[in-house]
Amino acid sequence: MTIDWPHFSPLHALTGGALIGLASVMLMLLHGRIAGISGILGGLLAGLLGDSSKPEVLWRLAFLLGLLYAPLLYRQWEVVGPIHVEAGNGTLVAAGLLVGFGTRLAGGCTSGHGICGLSRLSIRSLVAVCAFMAAGFVTVGVVRHLLA
Amino acid sequence: MRSVSVFLCGLVFGIGLIVSGMADPANVIGFLDLAGLWNPQLALVMAGAVAVGLAGFALARRRTHPLLAGAEGTMHWPTATRVDRRLMLGSVLFGVGWGLAGFCPGPALVGVGLGNGDAVVFTVAMLAGMFLHRKLAPHLPG
């Protein structure tokens, strides 16, 4: 294994990670909700299709707007991006469908199972994290090294 | 007031994603590419987040009501503990999609905020995937 040192920034990783953890703790402590992005999105979708009450839609919308606004605010202080996407449109659509369907079926993603679940010491979330990471490792291995 | 506070939680979460480098799919793919040049960034981001989360959630566990939701508010802790086929299959499908594009839901939304066209395409497809799950869920085996 060769480490990609030029793209590895431990200080940014730990600072950014701590902020993500802080936001997740704040949402639970202040509002009693789990900061799982796929769950918040899925619940919003259900709400907009008429399955849940107005307050359920409101808090989800507020959280997601904060997430969307983050790069615009951060841009005032520092350069953000550009971000690098290798996948073409067809792959992006397939990937999006898989992520949307898969996270709802599994009841969580990198935030809900990954950060919040592991922080709650949930075995179910630990299993989910191992499964999606293993699938991610295999997928990138196949796409980058077997098919390329 | 409550909505402003929830908005701020989302804002801090998003800034964390940007500062950590996780808003860029190249860093995610770099972490998942064990056979190539491996970037450990994501593992350290998780470690930082979980370290804060462990302490904070232990504190939150002691509360019966959230601080800002009033006396009628409840702590919505997840109750599911079962490791079943849905969890496994869903996580594997998610992992494949994650590896294909380098986006998971949070960073995709930050990408949309950045005005990145690829993130928009991914997010629209992701919402379609969630919609598809809503339609199919009742027919899927447990």
Q: Residues B49-104: pLDDT tens digits?
A: 999 999 999 999 999 999 997 767 899 999 999 999 999 999 999 999 999 999 99
| Nearest C-alpha in A relative to B58 | A120
Q: Which has more pLDDT, B127 or A6? A: B127
Q: Of A54-58, A93-97, B38-42, B76-80, which range is least confident?
A: A54-58
Looking at every residue in chain A, the average pLDDT score rounds to 95
Whether A62 is covered by a domain: the verdict is: yes
In sequence order, which ranges of chain A are alpha helices (DSSP H)? 10-31, 37-48, 54-74, 89-106, 118-119, 123-141
Residue B138 has pLDDT above 90, yes or no: no
Distance between CA atoms of residues A146 and B128, nearest Å: 29
Q: Which has more pLDDT, B141 or B55? A: B55
Number of domains in chain A: 1
Whether A58 is covered by a domain: the verdict is: yes
Beta strands in B45-118 (DSSP E): none
Query: Exposed, middle or buried by CB within 10 Å (0-12, 13-18, 19+), for B68?
Result: middle
pLDDT at position B42: 98
Q: Does A48 touch chain B (CB under 8 A)?
A: no
Output DSSP code: residue B137.
Answer: G
Amino acid at the residue A104: R
Whether A2 is covered by a domain: the verdict is: no
pLDDT-based confidence at residue B8 (cuts at 50, 70, 90): very high
Tokens of A40: 């918040």
CB–CB contact A16 B48 (8 Å)? yes
| Nearest C-alpha in A relative to B27 | A7
Residue partners of A55: CB distance under 8 A and separation at least 6: none
Buried b (16+ CB within 10 A) or exposed e, B93-118: bbbbbbbbbbbbbbbbbbbbbbebeb
Q: Mutating which of B79, B130, B136 best tests the A interface, going by the most A Cβ atoms within 10 A? A: B130
Once rounded to an integer, what is the mean pLDDT over residues B10-32?
98
pLDDT at position A22: 98
pLDDT at position A53: 78
ipTM computed for the complex:
0.96
Q: Are B109 and A74 in contact (CB under 8 A)?
A: no
CA A101, A103, A104, A108: dihedral to nearest 10 degrees?
A: 180
pLDDT tens digit string along B27-55?
Answer: 999 999 999 999 999 999 999 999 999 99
Residue partners of B139: CB distance under 8 A and separation at least 6: none
Whether A1 is covered by a domain: the verdict is: no
Expressed as residue numbers, the domain containing A118 is 8-146
pLDDT at position A95: 98
Buried b (16+ CB within 10 A) or exposed e, A89-101: eebbbbbbbbbbb
Whether A133 is covered by a domain: the verdict is: yes
Whether A132 is covered by a domain: the verdict is: yes
Tokens of A115: 């950060």
CB–CB contact A97 B105 (8 Å)? no
Candidate from B12, B78, B105 with C-beta closest to A23: B12
